Structure 1
């Protein structure tokens, strides 16, 4: 835990009065529900015939976007270990599930416009919140002190 001490983080940063932060639990719950819901909705076959090459391209893109959703989930889970502004907390909780559901929707080629819209809105929201959050990444000037 000494590695986290220079960032001002302790082993109990995700605990508030002996329990997990509610935002982190909500993020995990919403992501699980989004994955299960999108998976259940993607079981049926597409209503129209689609070119197999187009399906391969869309699925490859969905795979890449699913990786982005996984990275966003991990980053938001990490960030929610510390208090954030209420609007940022809402975005950190809602963005990754929206991205995950969109990636699964693209993979199944079900409602591609809706899936792509949800995926990209979630990605844009998380990115905008993270880039404007002064506490998202540690200050590099504090990391370098005492190491040379």
Structure 2
């Protein structure tokens, strides 16, 4: 063996323990920090959800809406679908409590879109029924009837739920 071989070997070993080649553990550490950050954000979303529930119980609907919207954004970002669905349900209910039918309809349509994307038949039927009742309150009985029929068809397995809801 020659001297350059030993020199090269020593150089590679030193790079691996000190710096350039040692970036693999640093990359792994970055992944760990990223996972910890995601966990903290998820906990933040759960905290917003809990604060919204408390504010709603106390009758402070504006604060509840604020916290539910904060939670919604985080759950949507991390694709936490079950919690996002619960948050959208709470938002729609709160808007209905405030008699803000337009905002409730918007949230229900978002929830329906999510349920269809996820092929969640049970949520589709539930949201369609809520939307139908909401449209009845808005004096749109024909539209409500079409939506109820869509919900019934989905519930009985006759369609995938891709009909209706191009209605304004």
Q: TM-score if structure 2 supplies the norm length?
A: 0.28
Which structure features the higher share of helix residues? 2
Higher relative contact order (CA 8 A, sep 6+): 1
